[in-house]
Structure 1
Amino acid sequence: MKFDAVLIAPRIQEMTEKGFWQGKTVNDYFDACLRDCPDKRALTSIVVSTGERRDLTWRELDVLANRAAVGLSRLGVGKDDVVACQLPNSWQFVVTYLGCARLGAVFNPVMHIFREHELCFMLRHGEAKVFVIPKLFRGFDHEEMTDGMLGNLPDLQHVVVAGGEGARDFDRVLMDPASDKDPELARIVTENRPDANAVCQLIYTSGTTGEPKGAMHTANTMYSNLVPYAERLKLGSGDVVLMASPMAHQTGFMYGLLMPVQLQAGAVLLDTWDKDVAARVVEEEKCTFTMASTPFLMDLANAVEEGGTDSSTLRTFLCAGTAIPGPVVERAHAVLGTKIVSAWGMTENGAVTLTNLDDPDDRSVHTDGYPLRGMELQIRRSDGTPAEPHEEGELFVRGCSNFGGYLKRPQLNNVDAEGWFDTGDIARADDSGYIRICGRSKDIIIRGAENIPVIEVEAALFKHPAIASVAIVGYPDDRLGERACAFVVPKPGMSLSFDEMTAFLSQSHFSKTYWPERLELRDKLPSTASGKIQKFALRKMLREEMGLA
């Protein structure tokens, strides 16, 4: 596979001279773990539905990673070949990635909820040579689905099935104990170790605006994010990272897999989210850090309060992906005793902005933090001039953790001549340089020449006791140009009327100009694999229902 990561070469000299790109890969960090703490527990993998767990030290993990490398090489996988993986969070996911890293293969994690439509596109576009899947996960037969797609995947040569049978079985193909004594082992796991500027990960964007794009990352782009990220959060080898966010998403992959290796820290993986299991795991494994979206935080606080478990070791919970309502932060801090940190980032560049541990709690409620070392921000007006503090504008980022480009689509890279990446987000900055994401540029609603602060109205409605989820989108209006519609998922057993919604916004002191003028109740909202609501789908749905399509 030939990768067109055109955004890497122009930055190598500057990023290296400034010390942001240190030239280390996961292999280098793993070697340090083997040298410094080989018998320390590296990983605990838990199957939530059965309680099955597997604990692995760095030494044991090394043996399994070597087996995976040998197994993959026997399937013909080599440097720059793509290995796609649809496994849930598990030790098998980790060793598959580590095996790829030792071969110089490119790892392509795909979410376990993807089906034929998404997978056919991604596997064909990425020219995946091997596809690693679970046999069954959450009652769904992934092997049967994959067999039905094979005729449309000319590059796919092998399917490996965790929990499978016969020639495809994960243990038989990738975990063969005989690999430990393979005379070619040393050559296989060292000959093609990649350079830190080589593409090592292909990960598809969430697709909030349509067809997904394959973002290419190198070890340098990812670790130049992880190093300052861990520094700001004061994470180190004594930490235990709980990761329930999917490792096929950048949150789980970077901060649940790569970062623990970098820090020589422990990691506890849950294959699915269960608040009660998570609360027990925090207590039993003495977890100190986790990163997830706001619903996970709310669930964990509820579980600890209801079950009386001890969460005192959990020092930090980093929330990203959406605004964190103030009452959620207050309750979580009171119940969990945890510092809530807000952040903003993208698949293309990892977490770019974070609040500080010593910031007051309202910083996490009202901002998404300020840039990590090595990253710069610009907020621009529509004419390209810099926005003033507190003025909303288009958000651009530049720096060390920016991706290498979109596979086979360099025309979509959205990077200008000075290296600024157009994020597609609308933001504002305060006098201290802390930013607030105000929405996507395509999500702006302009009602009678007045911009509606969509994110703020959504955050206010999120506090309503009857609302489980909410998204506001615009729809055409002859007189005002646009009006706003609120799509709401009520909490179980509850409902919401239009009058109740507007009365709540009135009590919240929102200008009537900003109130949604239409309410649509739904059982669920269309979302991406990582949980982001697909507003383009809601807009299309609304136009069709209004006869405007």
Structure 2
Amino acid sequence: MAKPTRLTREMIDEYIARGYWDETSVAQILRLNAKNYPESEAIVDGQTRLTWSELNRVTDAVALGLLDMGIKRDQALVAQVPTPSTTLLILLACHKAGIICCFPPLTFRQNEMKHVLKTLNAVAVVTPLTYRNTDYFGMVKEIADDLPQLRLFIVTGDEAPQGVIPFRRLLETSIGDKDPEKYLASQTFAPFEVSIISLTSGTTGMPKCVEHTGASSKAGGWGVVERGKMTQKDIMGDIAPLSGGPGLQNWWAGFQVGAKICLLERFSPEGTLELIEKERVTYLAAIPTQLIKILRDTDLTRYDLRSLRVVRTGAAAFDAALARETEDKMNCKVLIAGGAQETYSFGQTGVDDTLEKRLYTLGKPFPGNEVKITDGKGKECPQGEVGELFVRGATTSSGYFGDPDRTVEAWGELGKGGWYRTGDLAKIDEQGYLVLVGRKKEMIIRGGQNIYPKEIEDLLLSHPRVMQAVVIGIPDPVMEERACACVTPVKGQDFTFDEMSSFLKRKGLAIHKHPERLEVMEEFPQLVDGQKVDKISLKKMILET
């Protein structure tokens, strides 16, 4: 059994009693969807269209193929693949076969891949031969000598070197006279076992390997269903990367209601709008940077978006003005969520929330989770006071794989008493809604006064010529720190310090919070997950100029 690091029987029983967990496995949900909606489309991308019955049959074949290769229960497979449908086939097949799976982003290179493969003691790896001028297979072979447990190399695509297994062979595995459900019954993961590993962005070094069970993943998806009032008739456009929490969390939502889920191999603003128009998408799941590019780089009036009713996105780099602009231009409701790999979501707005709550809060605590705001000394803050956000509950991770010490460091203790320290600064308003203020470690102290970068970033993002904005603290011998704004303008536009200052003044920002330096850049350095700005590298660049 893939035993979770911090999960106890007491916690399992409590989450079941509260209605957030049950005994149904991921494999059982897939078989139920195949029975109830056999001819309904399940997943669609540029290369694949599969109904629920086809998806069930294909993942049976892949699961049997993986077992035929000698992979044993609770061993790990790591798949770094560009095609989202392939990711989902592997995900579901691994649940059926009892194989722990992990999906690093395509931006990971030798160092990150070696770390992940070694931490998980992975016996199999799936990559393309090459993709967009990167030799992924060669990259893995280069580090293979340092990974003696890694023995199976599987490649996607039409060609495979001698001695390497083509993924299509798994797709063609003969089921014969086997009854896959009975044959795989002893292998299939139960909902309370570690089944999938998510990876953090690696802001403090190598990425951490975050455990999730089928139960925590299902709970993470079901909260999305509830807040968005999703049904089997919805058509989801899930363009958030499946290597990260948002993409998979939205998949778990659509999966559980049997909705059609449409995916993009490679994001582009135009490709997203074409997908919505062609597939009649009703529910779009995207990360903030994707939505900003859609708003800034396209003519939305050229596309038929009338089917769209909900856009779900994250809190990072997405402010109230952008949310309102999205609602106005795309004629839908924007639901903003906040979370981490360790928690799925800790808060999310819902379709029944008022416009003000949808724009300015993260909604109420996510279904199944508890939150508390602490003062840094272990005491809970009064309502309305800013402090660090702690989270625990049904959607949270069961810990860091193979690392109980780091798990205790993050949660305080193993078991029910542990609270995950998010590092986010937040408060709870008088109606019980969660309001995110910023990151604890990013707070700027200027002359003894606290400045929260997110407040300034949100205002700058509301400027029509600003594409991205990051505010960092730079050392000052007199004031301790001063705020520096880093901006990437909309393509073909400019943005000056005087323009920034006058804009922030008109917005009513307190003078001591005004950035005292502006850096205009073509692009920001990215973390290895390709989804977040590398603020440590950005600050280093600024200090060196």
- In the superposition, the TM-score normalised over structure 2's length comes to 0.93
Q: 2:132 aligns with which of 132, 138, 146?
A: 138
Kept in 2, the 8 Å contact 1:63–1:180? The answer is no
Question: Does the Cα contact within 8 Å between 1:446 and 1:482 map onto a contact in 2?
Answer: yes
Amino acid at match of 1:271: E
Q: Distance in 2 between matches of 1:334 and 1:542?
A: 36
Q: Is the Cα–Cα contact under 8 Å of residues 128 and 155 in structure 1 kept in the other structure?
A: yes
**1:153–1:184 distance in 2 versus 1, CA, 3 Å:** farther
Match of residue 164, structure 2, among 138, 161, 168: 168
SS across alignment from 2:470: strand
Distance 2:204 2:382 in 1: 28
Alignment of 1:60-459 (within 5 A): 60-163=54-157, 164-166=159-161, 167-177=163-173, 179-181=174-176, 183=178, 188-256=183-251, 258-301=252-295, 305-306=299-300, 308-413=302-407, 414-416=410-412, 418-459=417-458
Partner of 2:503: 504
Letter in 2 for 1:150: A
Which residue type is aligned with residue 363 of structure 2?
A: G
Contact 1:210–1:536 (CA<8 Å) still a contact in 2? no
Structure 2 residue ranges without an equivalent (≥5): none
Structure-2 separation of matches of 1:172 and 1:228:
35
For residue 123 of structure 2, give the secondary structure of its aligned residue in structure 1: strand
Q: Which amino acid aligns with 1:491?
A: V
Give, in whole Å, the separation in 1 of the partners of 2:13 and 2:483. Answer: 48
Question: For residues 15 and 31 of structure 1, what CA distance do their matches in structure 2 show?
Answer: 24
Judged with a 3 Å threshold, the aligned counterparts in structure 2 of structure 1 residues 438 and 349 are, in CA distance, closer, same or farther, namely same
- Would you say the 8 A contact 1:26–1:219 is kept in 2? yes
Q: Does the 8 A contact of 2:300 with 2:329 survive in 1? A: no
- For 2:341 and 2:8, locate their aligned partners in 1 and report how far apart those are by CA, in whole Å: 16
Which residue pairs with 1:516 in the alignment?
Answer: 515
Aligned equivalents of 1:134, 1:430: Cα separation in 2? 48
Amino acid at match of 2:523: K
Q: Tell me, in whole angstroms, the C-alpha distance in 2 between the residues paired with 1:465 and 1:503.
A: 14
Deviation at 1:303, TM superposition (A): 7.3
Residue 497 of structure 1, CA deviation: 3.2
Shift of 1:233: 1.1
1:454 shift after superposition: 1.1
8 Å contact 1:397–1:423 — kept in the other structure? yes
Counterpart position of 2:532: 532
Letter of the aligned partner of 1:534 in structure 2?
Answer: D
Alpha-carbon distance in 1 for matches of 2:300, 2:312:
22
Contact 2:487 2:519 in 1 (8 A): yes
- Please state whether the residue corresponding to 1:278 is helix, strand or coil: helix
* Cα distance in 1, alignment partners of residues 15 and 419 from structure 2: 15
Contact 1:484 1:516 in 2 (8 A): yes
1:229 alignment partner AA: V
Question: What CA distance in whole angstroms lies between the structure 2 residues aligned with 1:316 and 1:239?
Answer: 10
Tell me, in whole angstroms, the C-alpha distance in 2 between the residues paired with 1:239 and 1:371: 24
Shift of 1:530: 5.0
CA displacement, residues 423-447 of structure 1 (integer Å, 9 cap, x when unaligned):
1111112111111211111111111
Residue of structure 1 equivalent to 2:486: 487
CA distance in 2, matches of 1:302, 1:468: 7
Counterparts of 1:288 and 1:124, CA distance in 2:
41
**Aligned equivalents of 1:2 and 1:25: distance in 2?**
14
- Say which SS state the counterpart of residue 110 (structure 1) adopts: coil
Q: Post-superposition shift, 1:183?
A: 4.9
Q: How far 1:463 moved relative to its partner?
A: 2.3
- The CA deviation at 1:304 is 7.2
Partner of residue 49, structure 1: none
Which one is further off, 328-337 or 505-514?
328-337
Q: Give the unaligned 5+ runs of structure 1.
A: 47-52
Contact 1:355 1:363 in 2 (8 A): yes
Task: Report the Cα distance in structure 2 between the residues aligned to 1:84 and 1:96, rounded to whole angstroms.
Answer: 10
Compute the displacement of 1:139 (Å): 3.1
Question: Could you say which residue in structure 2 is the equivalent of 1:22?
Answer: 22
Whole-angstrom CA distance in 2 between matches of 1:387 and 1:308: 49
SS at match of 1:319: strand
Residue matched to 1:59: 53
Query: Identity over the aligned pairs, expressed in percent?
Result: 28
Cα offset, 1:537, TM superposition: 2.7
Do 2:289 and 2:317's aligned partners in 1 also have CA atoms closer than 8 Å?
no
Counterpart-to-counterpart distance in 1, 2:4 and 2:357: 39
**Larger deviation, residues 33-42 vs 103-112:** 33-42
Counterpart code for 1:25: S
Q: Against the structure 1 CA distance between its residues 241 and 375, is the aligned structure 2 distance closer, same or farther, given a 3 Å change threshold?
A: same
Q: Secondary structure at the match of 1:136?
A: coil
C-alpha deviation, 1:88, in angstroms: 2.4
Name the SS for the 1:83 alignment partner: strand
Mapped to 1, the partners of 2:152 and 2:263 lie a distance apart of 27
Q: 1:209, 1:536 within 8 Å by CA — same for their partners in 2?
A: no
Could you tell me how far apart the structure 2 residues matched to 1:542 and 1:7 are? 43
SS of 1:144's equivalent in the other structure is: helix
8 Å CA contact 1:100–1:107 kept in 2: the answer is: yes
Residue 198 of structure 2: SS of its match in structure 1?
Answer: strand
The alpha carbon displacement at 1:377 in A equals 0.9
- Asked if the contact 1:130–1:157 (Cα under 8 Å) also holds between the matched residues in 2, the reply is yes
Report if aligned partners of 1:443, 1:473 keep a CA contact under 8 Å in 2. yes
The secondary structure found in structure 1 opposite 2:445 is strand
The answer to whether the 8 A contact 1:81-1:106 is kept is: yes
Work out whether 1:38 is the aligned partner of 2:34: no
Question: Structure 1: how far apart are the matches of 2:204 and 2:438?
Answer: 13
Give me the whole-angstrom Cα distance separating, in 2, the residues matched to 1:4 and 1:389: 34
Q: Please give the alpha-carbon distance, in whole angstroms, between the structure 1 residues aligned to 2:186 and 2:82.
A: 30
Amino acid at match of 2:143: M
The CA distance in 1 between the partners of 2:194 and 2:23, in whole Å, is: 13
Q: Which amino acid aligns with 1:492?
A: K
Q: CA deviation at 1:188?
A: 4.7
Quick one: which amino acid aligns to residue 371 of structure 1?
A: P
Q: Contact (CA 8 Å) 1:6, 1:404: kept in 2 or not? A: yes
Q: What is the root-mean-square deviation in Å for CA atoms of aligned residues? A: 2.2
Could you say if the C-alpha distance between residues 213 and 493 of structure 1 is closer, same or farther in structure 2, counting changes exceeding 3 Å? same
Distance across 1 between alignment mates of 2:298 and 2:512: 40
Change (3 A) 1:184 1:431: closer
Which has the higher mean CA deviation after the structures are superposed, 411-420 or 70-79? 411-420
Separation (CA, whole Å) in 1 of partners of 2:289 and 2:168: 38
Indicate if the aligned counterparts of 1:429 and 1:435 stay in contact, CA closer than 8 A: yes
**2:237–2:284 Cα contact (<8 Å) kept:** yes
Distance 1:172 1:359, change over 3 A: closer
